[in-house]
Chains A and B, each alone.
Chain A
Amino acid sequence: MKKLILSILVLGLGFNLMAQERSLAAVKVQNLDYSEFNTGDIENDGKPIIISFWATWCSPCKRELNAINEEYVDWQEETGLKLIAVSIDDSRNADKVKPYVDGQSWDYEVYLDVNGDFKRAMNVNNVPHTFLLDGNKKIVWQHNSYSPGDEDELYELVKKLANGESID
């Protein structure tokens, strides 16, 4: 019972803080050449960043990233956007990530989160899960799951950020 009350209190207070600014977690992941990378070093010179959690076994994730890839060159030119695709594939599929990324000609920055450390630090329940970061690398928007057309809504927000407008 004590535990329950405690949890409810913590939960209640947690929600009070939801409106607060949130930073990107600094966690160790891997580059596609298996060297270490700290997510705290993610950078885009004050321009917007999309962080998308995905996996090679997740069809909606691949649909989303393939759909964005068709527009990505234009989006980059128009807004200076950078998309970071974080694969949560574990050692069963991690070696297939780079061949898949190249095979689909993705131009994203891709990292491997093989034991879900980054996923946990970002409180991702399941994939696909997409975060949008402003120029100060604060999380300003996030979205779970993917339906065709979601990328258009996301890009409207990216354009707002690039123009210095706020997202509510």
Chain B
Amino acid sequence: MNYFKLVFGFVILLSLNKVIAQEKPKSFGEIHGNFEATTQYYIDDTIIGAPPVPEKVLMNGFLNLIYTKDKFEAGVRYESYQNALLGFSPDYKGNGIPFRYAKYSGDNLEITVGSFYEQFGNGQILRFYEARSLGFDNVLDGVRVKYNLKGLHLTGLIGEQRWYFSKGPGIVRGLNGDWDINETFETLEKSKTRLSIGGSVVSKYQEDDNQNLTLPENVMSYGGRFSLYRSGFSLKGEYTYKYNDPTSDNGYIYKPGQAFFLSGAYSQKGFGITVSAKTIDNMFYRSDRDNSSIFNDLMINYIPALTKQHTYNLMGTLYPYATQPRGEVAYQADLIYTFKRKSVVGGKYGTTLQANYSFANNIDTTHLNDENTTRLGYETKLFSLGEQKYYSDFNVEISKKINKKIKAKLTYQNLFYNIDVIQGKPGESDIIANVIVADVLYKFNSKNAIRTELQGLFTEQDQGDWSTIVIEYTNSPHWFVAIQDQFNHGNKNVDKRIHYFYSSVGYIKGANRITLNYGKQRAGIFCVGGVCRTVPASNGVNLSITSSF
């Protein structure tokens, strides 16, 4: 392993030396990369419930470098955790190069050796990806071959998944084919209707070392998909079946898993609508059956929440939904409409309305009480709606440019949140909350602007009412200053009616950015895509540098 790294580094150095020695660097390829480092100094604060940090200072950082020359590409990522920031898995410890690859891309053939990210279909059967800000990375280390044959796109891969600075115990193998029918038949190439179909087979191998049960060492999943598009209309569907996969996530039952996703959309200038449905049952799929980490370690598939991804903090991080891979049925409808300029509602500049509704329930199951016999656990059917509601969210947003200087946005949300299931807090009552946010941007001139957010969350349950004020001043193109106060004024426990004051100042130059933050952050859940991470409360000073070159 170390040998590989050294040789690899050496090859890069060699090519770089050549580049520097020559007058025309272009013919020797290009090198570029990006860098990020976040350092936090923690201040003890028992009132907000910040856990003690014995190190006082923690740091996460990484550097990506990519070298390209014609059809050849190679890259590395160096990562450093001294130790990992609060909220990240403590298994991130020390330094290493967990990501390095070499790739050849011909006209129709592509070969990758080393680390690579990949997604089959919508990801519900296989997705290797990274969400650096959440500390998530399930990259595969192995070999991948892709081949294109006039509309037929084929992928084969094999490897082991990253597990922090080592590898998971299983081997993952996968084959995928997507057939773009319009690309294959010349007569259809200009057709208004586009049709594509595809299928995948994925399998994992892990040795059976269980004393009590006989476990399947190879667990296969397969699935198919289609997408249809015609002048503004689109329809997409994907189905996945997973053979019996006893894991610590499902209590080592032998029941197979299933997932089905369907989505339709229509849009034209000024109007768009999306309607989606999904049902999943027993779809945890990891390359280590004994790992049920809350950090989503070694996940092979990806099933995101079918809900709106909110950005305002009282909507986004207090009560966000996370998919329940054990089983759920979910629906969502999303609408956008722009009232034309100079119409009654549109006014001088037009007005945009967005509305979204989503809900998720459990699946209806019948328990079998077969722990000592077949161990199937329960019976269910796809789309069989259970009685337990997990989540619902109705929200509507109106955005409008009022004049040359002012833009305003008003958002309302009605939320139902089953905190018992979603956050694993048994016995706590369901939360019903109403949230309202006013967001106003005032542009003084071409360089200076102030944006304010006033947010209020109203609920009888959990921690009660919250309000947030954000004031952000920007001086284009280099500076920004922001202050924020979150106040839990409705907490039934008077001692917990705390102000979380937070301030930031940042400097941006080109693709480099440096940000300094100071203040208190409440405990919350941060989600990107389908992955959420719980961040404990903290108080302190935080310095973050990002750069791309």
Contacts and interface: CB of A to CB of B under 8 A. Distances in A.
Contacts of A25: 68
Contact of A17 (B31, B305, B546): B31
B9 A6 contact: yes
B117 A115 contact: yes
Given A10-B13, A99-B267, A144-B513, A91 B122 contact: yes
Interface in A83-100: 90-96, 98-100
B33 A123 contact: yes
Contacts of B194: 33-35
A14 B31 contact: yes
Contacts of B203: none
Contact of A124 (B78, B119, B124, B548): B548
Given A10-B9, A33-B234, A57 B63 contact: no
Nearest to A25: B68
A11 B119 CA distance: 30
Interface in B263-287: 263, 265-274, 276
Contact of B117 (A36, A94, A120, A126): A120
Count class of interface residues, chain B? 35 or more
A147 B443 CA distance: 10
B476 A98 contact: no
Interface of A: 2-4, 6-7, 9-11, 13-18, 20-23, 25-26, 33-36, 56-59, 63, 90-96, 98-105, 114-117, 120-121, 123-126, 129, 141-145, 147-150, 152-153
Given A36-B183, A114-B119, 13 more contacts: A7-B78, A13-B16, A17-B30, A18-B549, A34-B229, A36-B180, A91-B124, A95-B276, A116-B117, A121-B66, A125-B546, A142-B510, A144-B510
B334 interface: yes
A149 to B, nearest CB: 3
A143 B272 contact: no
Given A92-B529, A116-B129, A4 B304 contact: no
Contacts of B480: 145, 147
Contacts of A149: 443, 445-449, 474, 476-477
14 contacts: A7-B63, A9-B13, A13-B13, A16-B16, A17-B20, A17-B31, A36-B180, A63-B441, A99-B267, A102-B271, A123-B64, A123-B66, A143-B510, A145-B480
A33 B234 CA distance: 8
Contacts of B122: 91, 94
A54 B266 CA distance: 22
B331 interface: no
Contacts of A148: 441, 443, 449, 474, 476
Contacts of A59: 311
A124 B196 contact: no
A129 B129 CA distance: 20
B530 interface: yes
Given A92-B304, A149-B477, A125 B309 contact: no
A105 B349 CA distance: 13
B511 A143 contact: yes
A57 B443 CA distance: 23
A34 B234 contact: yes
Interface in B293-320: 302, 304-306, 309-311
A16 to B, nearest CB: 6
Given A115-B117, A123-B32, A149-B449, A102 B269 contact: yes
B182 to A, nearest CB: 7
Interface string B24-49: 01100011111110000000000000
B396 interface: no
Interface core residue of B31, B97, B133, B183 (most chain A CB under 10 Å): B31
